[in-house]
């Protein structure tokens, strides 16, 4: 009984905060959780993957091909780690491409990346989270949008207590920043309530019943 969540993106996009908030909300909801983080050298604008495992996991690492949900803050990183995903999984992807900081780097066209992801994972959602975050006044708030999307799914699947993750998200940052974060979370939350079907929520529930992910 394990739910595997793969969080990927570029160092500095707030992936560790996301994982930590999910962890806190899970523990508070009575669910066991393991989060394997990436620190140090790998954080400085490099490629980052964080493994979040809810339930009876004992190993901190998600096996390749066994991820149930991917939260991606950047398109190329989503593509890089997509092989961690089950084909019937869910990928929530920030529609943002950050070119690697290498002179003369060649980067795949955005549509190609999106199509590859669509072709690999059955349920994909592409969200303009960075654009929304910039509009609202927190340039690095895309993580909150994606987190809101997840919050809605996990609450409907009965994994998280209602409202908990949102409260946690809204306590990040000082003063107006916390308000913006809360707003971004709510935006992501409402997107999922419109876009994610009950059928998919039932699938997430059924994954939870399995011995191994």
Partner 1 sequence: MLDLLKLLKKDEVYKAIVPSFLGYRYMYRFKDLIRIEKGKAFLLGNEAIARGAIEGGIGVASAYPGTPSSEIVEALTTISKDLGIYVEWSINEKVAFEVAFAAAITGVRSLVAMKHVGLNVAADPLMSSAYTGVNEGFVIVSADDPSMWSSQNEQDNRFYGMHAYIPVFEPYGPGEAKELVKYSLEFSSKIKHPVIFRSTTRISHTRGVVDLGPIPKSVKVKGEFGKELRFALVPAVSRKNKLALLERWRKISEEVEHCPFNFLEGDGKHLIIAPGVAYSHVREAIQFLGVKAKILKLSSVYPIPEAMLLKAVSDVDDVVIIEELDPVTELQVRSILHKKNITIRVAGKDLVEYPYELSIERVVEVLSKFYNVPNPLLQTKAGGTKGIEVPARPPTFCPGCPYRPLFFEIRRYINREKLPYIASGDIGCYALSLNEPYKLQDLIIEMGGSIGLANGLSKVTDDMVFSFIGDSTFFHAGMPALANAIYNRSPQVVVILDNQIVAMTGHQPSPSTVMEGKKAIAIEDVVKGLGVEFIRVVDPFEIDDVRRSISEAVKYVREKKMPAVIIARRRCALVILRDLRRRSIMLEPCYIDQEKCIGCGTCYNWFACPAISKVDGSNKAVIDPSLCVGCGSCVIICPVNAIKLPKGTEPRKLKELWR
Site for partner 1 in 115-154 (CB under 8 A): 116, 119-120, 130, 133-134, 139-140, 142
Burial 173-197 (b: 16+ CB within 10 A, else e): beeeeeebbbbbbbbbbebbeeebe
Among 5, 69, 84, 151, binds partner 1 (CB under 8 A): 84
69 binds partner 1 (CB under 8 A): no
63 binds partner 1 (CB under 8 A): yes
Among 122, 128, 167, 178, binds partner 1 (CB under 8 A): 167
Q: Which two tokens stand for residue 134?
A: 């910039």
Among 18, 72, 98, 150, binds partner 1 (CB under 8 A): 98
Contact yes or no for 92/62 (Cβ under 8 A): no
Q: Give the C-alpha separation, 159 to 153, whole Å.
A: 9
Site for partner 1 in 6-25 (CB under 8 A): 10-12, 19-21, 23-24
Binding mask 23-62 for partner 1 (x = CB under 8 A): xx--xxxxxxxxxxxxxxxxxxxxx------xxxxxxxx-
Q: Give the C-alpha separation, 152 to 40, whole Å.
A: 32
């Amino acid at each position: 009984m394990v739910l595997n969540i793969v969080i990927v993106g570029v160092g500095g996009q707030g992936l560790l905060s996301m994982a930590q908030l999910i962890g806190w909300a899970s523990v508070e909801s009575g669910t066991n959780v393991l989060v394997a983080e990436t620190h140090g050298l790998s954080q400085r604008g490099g490629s980052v993957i964080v493994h979040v495992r809810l339930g009876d996991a004992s190993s901190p690492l998600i096996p390749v091909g066994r991820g149930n949900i991917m939260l991606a803050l950047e398109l190329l990183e989503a593509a890089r780690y997509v092989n961690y995903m089950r084909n019937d999984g869910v990928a929530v992807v920030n529609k943002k491409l950050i070119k690697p900081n290498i002179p003369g780097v060649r980067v795949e066209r955005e549509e190609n990346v999106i199509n590859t992801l669509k072709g690999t994972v059955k349920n994909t959602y592409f969200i303009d989270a960075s654009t929304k975050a910039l509009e609202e006044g927190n340039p690095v708030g895309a993580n909150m949008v994606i987190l809101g999307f997840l919050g809605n799914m996990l609450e409907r699947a009965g994994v998280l207590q209602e409202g908990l993750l949102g409260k946690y998200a809204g306590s990040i940052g000082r003063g107006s920043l916390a308000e913006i974060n809360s707003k971004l979370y709510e935006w992501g939350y409402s997107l999922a309530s419109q876009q994610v079907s009950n059928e998919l929520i039932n699938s997430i529930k059924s994954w939870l019943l399995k011995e191994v992910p």
